[in-house]
Amino acid sequence: MGSKYYRGEILYYVNVIVDHSSNATDRVFTYGATEAGLKPGDAVAIPFARNRRLLTGYIHSLIPEPPAHIKGLRLVDSLKPEESLPEVAIDVAEWMQERYFCRLIDALRCFAAPGKAAAKSIKQTSGMSGDEAAEGDGVIVADTEAWLPETPPIPTREQARALSRILPVIEKRQAGTFLIHGVTNSGKTEIYLRAIEASLRTGRPAIMLVPEIVLTGQTIERFYRRFGREKIAVLHSRLAAGERRRQWERIRRGEVAIAIGARSAVFAPFSELGVLIIDEEHESSYKSDMTPKYDTIEVGIELGRRHAATVLLGSATPSLTSYHKSLNGEFERLELAERYDRRPFPHMQAVDMREELQAGNRSIFSRILYESMQNCLAERQQIMLFLNRRGYSSFLSCRSCGFVVKCTECGIAMTYHKSTGEAVCHYCGRKQVWQQICPACQSPYLKHFGVGTEKVEETARSAFPEAAIERLDLDTTRRKGSFDAILNRFRRGKTQILIGTQMIAKGLDFTNVGLVGVISADITLNLPDYRAAERSFQLITQVAGRAGRGSQAGEVIVQTYEPDHYAVQTALAHDYRSFYQIETAVRQVLDYPPFSDMIRLVLTAADEADARTGMEKIRELFLRRAGREHAAYVLGPQPAMLPRMNQKYQYQLQIKCLPQHWQVYQKVLRGIKYKTLKEREHDWQLSIDLNPFSLN
């Protein structure tokens, strides 16, 4: 059906979304079609612009007649079936365009095929050792037993009660959202597995989402045992481009019934869907920080509505927004208050590090933590130490003149990494060799301050030289397969002490962990972010859940300079409801989520004054269009938390959007973005982020 040689008649007309990165093309274009059977979502090759270069486009809709103003109507050149998307992708992409202030093609690209078609077969993982990386799924199969079919356990009383609510909705092919609030080790995964079985019985596939960091062999293997590997496709960022494409094509062709993956797997190209599961739904990794800046939970619920599919959200520490929605009836909440087999909760205690300092202990290990580690090692139990900061120290500063080593690109303090002898910017990755001489005053007193996981490892090795110790953070897991290899060594007992960042805080199940130590609960507690208390509560609760999963109750020690803070105290008491009540009382007074949407605008420019005055103009334009009475809901402008990045300056504006204001604000902000980009497209970059998880 080449347009150059067309001799037949136009059968109908189609509106096409062109795969082109330009604000000028953020609309549909009308073409004639001479091939029957085209439908929304189909990928086509179309001649575009003056040079008639063939570009990929996606059928948006079919229309009986072209608009009257169109002259010189062009024809669809050819169909690209290997790139085609389900029809629902068009609908959801349009919803994302409105919700997240993005271009339609940016939203649609989330659904599009990744990379190029795979040209070779992929090796199987069977028979590989636990320390090898499997090419097939990007995960490790630990041993032969992992392939033995799993006999489903008898549901507990709480599991059975939850399933009695969920399964009928799936079987009736109804849309609905359930929040499964289950304490750590309460058996949420078994509910997920049975929900998927119910969906498959109706002939409809399922999607299982997990945070990127817990997408390990431990998660995948259980699904392999339950359903068989041939029914499952795995999608996540650790896959090579060719393998990711191969998995996507298996889903599109209907060769698999289950897709498991991280955030982007919500866009798996199933033509229909029965159940969508989002485990650890509170995790920040479910919020995209790149265009389009979507919320996976919101997208998942929208997909569920259009597929008439059931959505399950699970967490021991639900986000305040999800829990709030379960109270007002948007979600149905199901509680799992007991651990599996009624195992006791670990014994938890806080250590006041101010008292440690007064007692003369300057170590990063409190006396109680040190003694507990000794006892745990003597009893041949394993230890997990958690600190949500990698590197050796937080920053480098001169004790003579106060100079702080900062990134020349971003203007923020660089983190010292002793293993490489470098100061590293954790935002842009810039590195420089550490020198003890201060570049400002030439004194020899440039020292490192603060604590990172690298220093915790050094201290642990010094204190317990006979123990086998490993560190799990971004620096130790850069090599393919290293993440799962480290976890497998810990699972087999080869490692006695595992030190890590939030990578070890959730989703991991080891039966011999007798002690969990939180080195500093204050790192997240004192962030300049309205979510700081919520994050601290979640991290303490989640990392504590790694202890006591075997026959012993286990122990959790939380080191902090603020032991009386309500986030710490409620976490120690395993009391989510009290935390929710205290935290939401504060947020309601201040109009913070879940009682509003936070909209963050960031303007980037080469000149700082230009960035500042530009954001001031945007604030003024917003108030002129929305109304001066909304000034109380506008915060800023002010320098962004990361004021400079890649040698450009960033200013931000934050807007609290109450539910009754959403329609007005959405229209005003869309108009402002269009106006800004049209007038200063080459000078400014303007991003709009709805409910960002980070204010950096």
Could you tell me the domains of the chain? 3-109 (3.40.1440.60), 144-341 (3.40.50.300), 343-390+452-587 (3.40.50.300), 597-690 (3.30.70.600)
User: What is residue 540's predicted lDDT score, i.e. its pLDDT?
Assistant: 92
User: What is residue 442's predicted lDDT score, i.e. its pLDDT?
Assistant: 85
Q: Once rounded to an integer, what is the mean pLDDT over residues 83-88?
A: 96
User: Between 344 and 452, where is the model more confident?
Assistant: 452
- The whole-angstrom separation of Cα 188 and Cα 199 is 17
Dihedral of the alpha carbons of 91, 95, 97, 100, in degrees to the nearest 10: -150
User: Between 212 and 444, where is the model more confident?
Assistant: 444
User: What is residue 311's predicted lDDT score, i.e. its pLDDT?
Assistant: 98
- Cβ neighbors of 12 (< 8 A, separation 6 or more) are 33, 38, 62, 63, 64
- The whole-angstrom separation of Cα 182 and Cα 677 is 46
Percent of the residues in the chain that have a pLDDT greater than 90, as a whole number: 63
**Concatenated DSSP letters of 42-85:** -EEEEEETTTTEEEEEEEEEEESS--TT--S--B--EE-GGG--
| Lowest mean per-residue pLDDT among 45-54, 101-110, 586-595 | 45-54
Return the structure tokens found at 275.
Answer: 């159940």
> In degrees rounded to 5, what are phi and psi of residue 562?
-130, 65
pLDDT digits (tens, 9 = 90+) for 157-184: 999 999 999 999 999 999 999 999 998 8
3-state SS of 83-118 is HCCCHHHHHHHHHHHHHHCCCHHHHHHCCCCCCCCC
Say if residue 72's pLDDT is above 80.
no
Q: Could you tell me how many residues make up the chain? A: 696
If you average pLDDT over each of 242-246, 260-264, 322-326, which comes out highest?
Answer: 322-326
Tell me how far CA of residue 303 lies from CA of 163, 268, 536, 654, in angstroms.
22, 11, 31, 29
Percent of the residues in the chain that have a pLDDT greater than 70, as a whole number: 89
Sequence letter at residue 385: L
End-to-end CA distance of the chain: 51
pLDDT digits (tens, 9 = 90+) for 394-416: 667 676 777 778 777 666 677 77
- The whole-angstrom separation of Cα 312 and Cα 614 is 43
User: What is residue 230's predicted lDDT score, i.e. its pLDDT?
Assistant: 93
Tell me how far CA of residue 233 lies from CA of 255, 375, 515, in angstroms.
9, 44, 36
Kindly report the pTM of this predicted structure. Answer: 0.88
- The whole-angstrom separation of Cα 268 and Cα 249 is 10
User: What is residue 549's predicted lDDT score, i.e. its pLDDT?
Assistant: 66
pLDDT digits (tens, 9 = 90+) for 650-664: 999 999 999 999 999
Q: Once rounded to an integer, what is the mean pLDDT over residues 84-98?
A: 97
Q: Pick left, alpha or beta for residue 429 (phi over 0 → left; psi -120 to 50 → alpha; otherwise beta).
A: left
